[in-house]
């Protein structure tokens, strides 16, 4: 009997291996061997992927770096978060929750800065979807500079190929992409795995072609929020075509240099052949340099007397749009978490959190627990990087909200 079971198990295992092998081989033919290998070997993206397994386009440290002043108040930060989380040792808690960096900046001074789990101040850390908030800032700068007319421009002004494929693309505006409300289809995983939108937008070797040819309209734009990684790809192509520069060059000259990034950074690219920046998640930097995006938005877009991005854009890109502030606009599970029974919202690739005073905080968030949290009420920026969330995402943002409001 045991021999029969063993033989049957081996036959089943062998059949499964053959099926998987055929399945991967078909994907290699339909797409490419490299794409199939990326999907199978990476499965879920990690920091190592964006730093080691994708090509990189370097962002050079500023020749005039900005260095935050330090006014250490670590015990107040520790005790505040210990009370919020109900723990005895905040540093140990952070380490246990897969944290790499945790920085609190208040009134332009560092009050807490610690690194964990092998990370240090000069460790390159992947932004994941925090990159989208950088994308948004770059779009705002391009509008300020006149490269882009406005957020109400149809995307087909810059990407006419889309209209040639489907005239309905002419109704989608840059605003719709920034709001994650384009009406484009996005199914993270499909039955064939390799044809799911999440693996395609993460591991595809030509993201330009993918965004132009694999996008499908299922609903009119502006009707509801639906998280979709084709949106940042399309925005990246619009930036390229409008400015005549690569996204790396535009990031370097309009942000990296102007806000005094202390360290080199890098955009991960889709492939050496295509060399298109992975707009959805591929920005890599040091934690202290992520904080500078938050500071830029706290200062009304002014840095050392220079208007880097307009104050109007900062307000427009982070504030609540009352016309979309209802539960029907956030129909799916993630949307309901964002909406938070009316306490939260999504704007131009920033999340918002309303306060009783009528003011609001806003923040960028990325997979594995990357955050740039900004509270204008207390002039505070909180940065957290990690190899995992540890606790649920909303627990982090609720804690930042409470601490910043205290």
DSSP assignment string, 63-127: SS----EE---HHHHHHHHHHHHT-S-HHHHHHHTTEEEEEEEETTEEEEEEE-TT--TT--EE-
State the average pLDDT over residues 233-258.
Answer: 98
Q: Which two tokens stand for residue 241?
A: 């075509």
- Stretch 207-226: mean pLDDT, rounded? 98
Mean pLDDT is lowest, of 23-32, 79-88, 174-183, 200-209, for 23-32
Mean pLDDT of the chain: 93
Specify burial of residue 16 (Cβ count, 10 A radius: 0-12, 13-18, 19+): exposed
Q: What is the dihedral of CA 130, 136, 138, 144, to 10 degrees?
A: -150
* Dihedral over alpha carbons 51, 262, 120, 285 (to 10 degrees): -30
Distance, CA of 326 to CA of 336 (rounded, Å): 10
Amino acid 12: pLDDT: 53
| pLDDT above 70 (res 312) | yes
Instruction: Fill in the DSSP letter of residue 154.
Output: B
**Residue 44, pLDDT score:** 77
- Closest residue by Cα to residue 106 from 326, 305, 230, 291: 291
Among residues 137, 99, 139, the alpha carbon closest in space to that of 119 is found at: 99
Q: Is the pLDDT of residue 224 over 80?
A: yes
pLDDT digits (tens, 9 = 90+) for 139-176: 999 999 999 999 999 999 999 999 999 999 999 999 99
Residues 273, 78: Cα–Cα separation, whole Å: 48
> Which candidate, 238, 226, 228, places its Cα nearest to that of 201?
228
CA distance to 42, 50, 106, 202, per residue, from 59 (Å): 25, 15, 27, 21
The closest of 180, 54, 60, 61 to 126, measured between CA atoms, is 54
User: Taking residues 298-302, what's their average pLDDT?
Assistant: 97
**pLDDT (mean) for 86-112:** 98
Asked if pLDDT for residue 127 goes beyond 70, the answer is: yes
Q: How far apart are CA 84 and CA 252, in angstroms?
A: 38
Sorted by where each begins, the domain ranges of the chain are: 2-42, 47-150+245-405
Confidence of residue 194 (pLDDT cuts 50, 70, 90): confident
pLDDT confidence of residue 351: 98
> What are the residues whose beta carbons fall under 8 Å from the beta carbon of 64, sequence distance 6 or more?
257, 260
Give the C-alpha separation, 157 to 212, whole Å.
14
Residues 172, 222: contact at Cβ < 8 Å? no
Instruction: Place 193 in a pLDDT band, splitting at 50, 70 and 90.
Output: confident
What is the distance between the alpha carbons of residues 374 and 397, in angstroms, rounded to a whole number? 11
DSSP 351-362: EEEE-TTS-EEE
Instruction: Identify the DSSP state of 61.
Output: P
This prediction's pTM? 0.93
- pLDDT digit string, tens, across residues 13-66: 444 444 445 455 655 556 788 898 889 887 778 888 899 999 999 999 999 999
Q: Look at residue 108 and tell me whether its pLDDT is greater than 60.
A: yes
pLDDT band with cut points at 50, 70 and 90 for residue 2: very low
The superfamily in CATH containing domain 47-150+245-405 is DD-peptidase/beta-lactamase superfamily (3.40.710.10)
Residues 6+ apart with CB under 8 A from 15: none
Interval 323-347: pLDDT, tens: 999 999 999 999 999 999 999 999 9
The residue with tokens 């850390």 is: 125
The reported pLDDT for the residue numbered 202 is 94
State the pLDDT confidence band at 406, using cuts at 50, 70 and 90: confident
326 vs 43, 318, 332, 340, CA distance in Å? 35, 17, 13, 10
pLDDT computed for residue 27 by the predictor: 58
């Amino acid at each position: 009997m045991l021999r029969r079971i063993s033989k049957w198990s081996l036959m089943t295992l062998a059949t499964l291996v053959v099926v998987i092998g055929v399945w991967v081989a078909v994907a290699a033919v339909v797409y490419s061997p490299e794409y199939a290998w990326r999907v199978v070997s990476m499965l879920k993206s990690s920091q190592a992927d964006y730093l080691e397994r994708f090509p990189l386009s370097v962002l050079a440290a500023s020749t005039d770096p900005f260095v935050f002043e330090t006014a250490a108040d670590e015990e107040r930060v520790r005790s505040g978060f210990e009370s919020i989380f109900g723990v005895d040792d905040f540093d140990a808690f952070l380490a246990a929750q897969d944290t790499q960096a945790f920085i609190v900046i208040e009134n332009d001074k560092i009050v807490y800065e610690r690194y964990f789990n092998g990370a240090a101040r000069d460790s390159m850390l992947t932004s994941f979807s925090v990159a989208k908030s950088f994308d948004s800032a770059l779009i705002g700068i391009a509008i300020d500079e006149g490269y882009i007319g406005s957020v109400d421009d149809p995307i087909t002004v810059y990407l006419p190929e889309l209209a040639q494929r489907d005239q309905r693309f002419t109704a989608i505006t840059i605003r719709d992409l920034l709001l994650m409300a384009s009406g484009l289809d996005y199914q993270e995983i499909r039955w064939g795995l390799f044809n799911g939108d999440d693996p395609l937008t993460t591991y595809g070797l030509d993201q330009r072609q993918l965004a132009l040819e694999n996008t499908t309209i299922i609903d009119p734009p502006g009707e509801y929020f639906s998280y979709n990684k084709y949106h940042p790809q399309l925005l990246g192509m619009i930036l390229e075509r409008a400015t005549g520069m690569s996204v790396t060059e535009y990031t370097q000259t309009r942000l990296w240099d102007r806000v005094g990034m202390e360290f080199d950074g890098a955009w991960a690219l889709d492939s050496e052949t295509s060399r298109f920046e992975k707009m959805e998640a591929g920005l890599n930097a040091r934690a202290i340099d992520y904080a500078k995006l938050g500071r830029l938005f706290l200062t009304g877009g002014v840095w050392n007397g220079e208007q880097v991005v307009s104050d109007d854009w900062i307000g427009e890109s982070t504030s609540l749009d009352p016309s979309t502030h209802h539960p029907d606009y956030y129909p799916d599970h993630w949307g309901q978490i964002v909406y938070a029974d009316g306490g939260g919202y999504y704007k131009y690739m920033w999340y918002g959190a309303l306060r009783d005073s009528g003011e609001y905080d806003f923040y960028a968030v990325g997979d594995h627990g990357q955050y740039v949290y900004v509270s204008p009420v207390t002039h505070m920026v909180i940065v957290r990087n990690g190899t995992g969330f540890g606790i649920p995402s909303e627990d982090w943002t609720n804690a930042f909200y409470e601490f910043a409001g205290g």
